[in-house]
Amino acid sequence: MRNLKIYCSLFLTLSILFCGNLKTQTLPDTLSFQEIFAITLQNNFQLLMLANDAEISKNNNTAGNAGFLPTVDLGVSNNNAIVNSKQKFYDGRTKEASGANNNNFNLLANLNWTVFDGMKMWATRDRLAELENIGQMNLQLQIEFTYLDLASLYFRLVQEQKLLQVLNSTLEVSRARLELAEKKFNIGAASQVDLNQARIDMSTDSTLFIRQGVLMKNLAADINMLAGRSPEIEFAAEHDILPETSVDYQNMYASMLEQNYSVLLVKSEARVKYQEIREKRAELMPSLSLYANYAYSNLSSETGLLETSTTSGPAFGFNFNYNLFNGLNSRRELQNSKIEYNSAVAQADEMQNNMHAQLYKTFNSYVGASQEVALEKTNLDNADKNLIIAIELYRAGAINEIEFRDIQRKALEAENRLLVAEYTMKMAGINLRQISGMLWF
């Protein structure tokens, strides 16, 4: 990796003393990837919503929701009426009342408990447990995807920061060339064409430097958005990308089968479908429930045949239900559940196969990128040597502006190819760990 010290030595070779005039810039705070990821875990809106969904699934996984527990109801009513009545009896008597007060008070405590429903409650319990597990896995999977998205942006920012330094150094070289071209032109050792070419190159490098700064600001804004922060918050990424270690394809494949959340998720969804089969099968069986209640009623009336009436006492018994025929709808629903389960199993097999293919292709990308990194480091070293030689030749007038610019451009391209290869290698390594279920935070 080239740095400012190398370029300062190049500038000295050109006899242009401008390195001491470089302005010291105040950089924003540097955040490591783990620090920004910790902020993202707390603030990312998608993660917050999925965490709430997972909490709901957990709350739903109870014995009462599965149907194991009895239900207890309490009802109280008190009815008052003021009536005018006129009654005539068969024996000739009559009875009239004006503004008579009638009161009817009732209390009922009722308990119902299903003790057998064809084992449906057991299947429901297992289904609710799977749904809770799915809620947690959905959250974990989204955390991994967020990790990948954040890593893609963050490590690109790392490389773009390096490229900005390279572009800044390239800009300083172009500035030195322009100053030298002006001096040569003033003494008649260079043509107007050479001077204009140096000015064009200086302008081009300035434009690239400005564009790079805008790109980095927008990358930082994307990272802040993912982290649930204001896009205006300024920060710098770390200076280097650490390569992934312990990349073993066979170990990662074995781990993928056991720990990949995408695979585990669809397998859990298939188990939910299996529990639905058990629930539908239970509807073909009889059900037995017990009930018990206690009732209290008090009636008082200033009209009618009874002046007061009070009843109280418990009641208990059982209800036995067995559907003998409902148009074969229960059997139809059971068959549909079996078909849905078969589809879910096929989907799980498909997901496992897809993950296997992704693991294989990502591993190939990682190996290829690691080979590219080694080659590009050698290329960059040679390009830097050529640039040093070219500066000497340019100072001596042995090469012209176009030839020097071509060598300078190739050095910049070599630097950029290395940055791209390092980024590709890093992201391939992270994706390998995610696919294999080995993405540990």
* Domain annotation covers residue 169: yes
Question: Are 90 and 218 part of one and the same domain?
Answer: no
Reading the block at residue 313, the tokens are 């006492």
**441 found inside a domain:** no
The pLDDT-based confidence of 372 (bands split at 50, 70, 90) is very high
By the 8 A CB rule, do 163 and 176 touch?
Answer: no
Tell whether the model's pLDDT for residue 221 goes beyond 50.
Answer: yes
Do 185 and 162 share a domain, yes or no?
yes
Answer yes or no: is 208 within a domain. Answer: yes
Structure tokens at 129: 């447990």
Distance of CA 385 to the CA centre of its chain: 46
- 10 pLDDT band (50/70/90 cuts)? very low
CA distance 126 to 275: 7
Domain hosting 302: range is 71-116+287-321
Tokens of 324: 């003998």
Same domain, 110 and 25: no
Joined together, the tokens standing for residue 9 give: 């030595």
Question: Do 83 and 190 have their domain in common?
Answer: no
| Distance of alpha carbon 194 from alpha carbon 202, whole angstroms | 12
pLDDT in tens, 408-423: 999 999 999 999 999 9
Residues 316, 185 share a domain: no
What is the chain's mean pLDDT, rounded?
A: 90
Per-residue pLDDT band for 301 (boundaries 50, 70, 90) equals confident
Looking at the domain assignment, is residue 440 inside a domain? no
Region 84-112 average pLDDT: 85
Cα 336 to Cα 277, 322, 388: the distances in Å are: 9, 22, 75
94-116 and 308-321 beta bridge pairing: unpaired
Which of 304, 321, 338 is the last residue in one of the domains? 321
Same domain? For 202 and 317 the reply is no
Residue 380 lies in a domain: yes
Region 243-261 average pLDDT: 92
Residues 7-28, mean pLDDT to the nearest whole number: 41
Examine the domain organization and report whether 89 and 170 are in the same domain.
Answer: no
Picking from 179, 172, 192, the residue whose alpha carbon sits closest to that of residue 9 is: 172
CB 85 within 8 A of CB 97: yes
- Is the same domain home to 366 and 382? yes
Per-residue pLDDT band for 27 (boundaries 50, 70, 90) equals: low
CA atoms within 13 A on the CB side of 308: 2
Q: Is residue 66 part of a domain?
A: no
**Under a CB-based contact definition with an 8 Å cutoff, are residues 28 and 36 in contact?**
no
Q: Do 306 and 429 belong to one domain?
A: no
- Could you give the 3-state DSSP secondary structure of residue 296? strand
| Residue 358 and residue 237 share a domain | yes
Same domain, 281 and 365: yes
Compute the average pLDDT of residues 276-281.
Answer: 96
Residue 252 maps to a domain:
yes
Q: How many domains does the chain have?
A: 2
What residues form DSSP beta bridges with 83?
A: 100
Q: Does some domain include residue 364?
A: yes
Query: Stretch 302-327: mean pLDDT, rounded?
Result: 88
C-alpha to C-alpha distance for 432 and 251, rounded to whole angstroms: 11
User: Which residue in this structure is represented by tokens 């009654």?
Assistant: 87
Same domain, 175 and 238: yes
Structure tokens at 240: 């280097």
Q: Which helix (H) or strand (E) holds 133?
A: helix 120-186
Distance, CA of 376 to CA of 419 (rounded, Å): 9
Give the CATH number of the domain where residue 31 resides: 1.20.1600.10
Q: What is the CA radius of gyration of the chain?
A: 40
Rounded to whole angstroms, the Cα distance separating 65 from 219 reads 47
What is the average per-residue pLDDT within 219-237?
A: 96
